[in-house]
């Protein structure tokens, strides 16, 4: 089957296709794009006519992507990342302390740790525009999905520059009210009698913690969620005992450390692409994050 050259396909149609692919519906895509639903439908249908293939199957439950749509999705994702990177690069000259910088970080780090650092940075450089992507998936710096990443593993790609900022300690914590009611265990076996907070799905990170000696499984948890933010909120609310960063727990006088011998360290790195090191706004943000996270890791 012959397809049109990619340079002949309108980018707005591709954006509409990608939004539907991500959201699973025309209404969701319209909200993301800030466009009318009929406009999104027309753009997708125009793209399908131009390519001569169906990209989605219609059903009462929504739009289901075809195998070809899923294959094309990766290419359009790369184009969207490149377009966003282009816009960030064009937002200011390389030697300027202004313009857009995109950071990617985990939910907990992005919500609980970074805001004071970013506030101080933007107070010093009010021309900076910060874009913050929160997820536990590492956005691809090589594809310029982000300019700077905060990661818990050292990157292996030669084109990436990483600064180790130290190990962030994690431990078991519980609300004083909960511990008053249930007791303060001194062994992991004793802690099993308390309501425990943990995961729904065993991830690579969970397996790494279990390899350090944490003999707990999904069935042991009275409250289960794969969201680190939800786990932290549950600990603070007194739902149960769970694992969180020691420095975060120390901010709440009602949270107590439980089983202090059980400590898990998160090796943390600030990473960027080597081509961005000489872009002043990226260097300013990179250095500020290294300094701020290093102090945080030390408990400062």
Model pLDDT, residue 196: 94
Contact 30, 42 (CB under 8 A): no
- Hey, do 99-166+267-297 and 167-265 end up sharing a CATH topology, with the first three levels equal? yes
CATH label, 6-80, candidates 3.30.479.10, 3.50.50.60, 2.170.150.70, 1.10.10.10:
1.10.10.10
3-state secondary structure of 132: strand
State the Cα–Cα distance between residues 122 and 171, nearest whole angstrom.
32
State the Cα–Cα distance between residues 58 and 55, nearest whole angstrom.
10
Contact 198, 204 (CB under 8 A): no
Model pLDDT, residue 129: 92
- Is CATH 1.10.10.10 correct for 167-265? no
State the Cα–Cα distance between residues 252 and 244, nearest whole angstrom.
12
- Tracing tokens 């969207």 back to the chain, one arrives at 80
Strands 148-151 and 197-198: unpaired
Model pLDDT, residue 10: 79
State the Cα–Cα distance between residues 284 and 97, nearest whole angstrom.
8
Dig out the tokens for 276 from the structure.
């961005």
Contact 197, 234 (CB under 8 A): yes
Model pLDDT, residue 140: 62
Given phi > 0 = left and psi -120 to 50 = alpha, else beta, which region is 22? Answer: alpha
Model pLDDT, residue 2: 46
Query: pLDDT tens-digit profile of 227-270?
Result: 999 999 999 999 999 999 999 999 999 999 998 888 888 889 99
Percent of the chain with pLDDT over 70: 86
Contact 88, 82 (CB under 8 A): no
Listed by start position, the domains of the chain span 6-80, 99-166+267-297, 167-265
- Is CATH 1.10.10.10 correct for 99-166+267-297? no
Within the chain, which residues score under 50 in pLDDT? 1-2, 4-8
Model pLDDT, residue 117: 95
């Amino acid at each position: 089957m012959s397809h049109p050259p990619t340079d002949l396909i309108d980018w707005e149609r591709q954006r509409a296709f990608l939004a539907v692919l991500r959201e699973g519906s025309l209404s969701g895509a319209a909200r993301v794009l800030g466009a009318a639903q009929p406009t999104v439908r027309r753009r997708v249908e125009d793209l399908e006519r131009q390519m001569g293939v169906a990209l989605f199957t219609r059903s009462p439950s929504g739009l289901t992507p075809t195998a070809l749509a899923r294959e094309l999705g990766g290419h359009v994702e790369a184009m969207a990342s490149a377009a966003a990177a282009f816009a960030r690069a064009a937002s200011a000259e390389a030697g300027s302390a202004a313009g857009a910088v995109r950071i990617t970080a985990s939910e907990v780090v992005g919500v609980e740790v970074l805001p004071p650092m970013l506030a101080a940075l933007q107070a010093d450089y009010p021309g900076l525009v910060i874009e913050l992507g929160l997820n536990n998936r590492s956005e691809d710096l090589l594809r310029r999905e982000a300019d700077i990443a905060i990661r818990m593993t050292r990157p292996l790609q030669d084109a990436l520059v990483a600064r180790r900022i130290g190990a962030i300690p994690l431990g078991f914590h519980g609300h004083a009210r909960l511990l008053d009611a249930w007791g303060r265990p001194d062994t992991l076996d004793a802690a099993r009698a308390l309501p425990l907070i943990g995961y729904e799905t065993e991830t690579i990170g969970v397996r790494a913690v279990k390899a350090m000696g944490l003999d707990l499984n999904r069935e042991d948890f009275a409250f289960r969620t794969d969201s680190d933010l939800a786990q932290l909120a549950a600990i603070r609310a007194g739902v149960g005992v769970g694992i969180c960063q020691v420095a975060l727990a120390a901010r709440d006088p009602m949270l107590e450390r439980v089983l202090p011998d059980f400590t898990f360290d998160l090796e943390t790195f600030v990473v960027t692409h080597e081509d961005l090191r000489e872009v002043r706004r990226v260097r300013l943000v990179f250095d500020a994050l290294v300094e701020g996270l290093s102090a945080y890791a030390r408990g400062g």
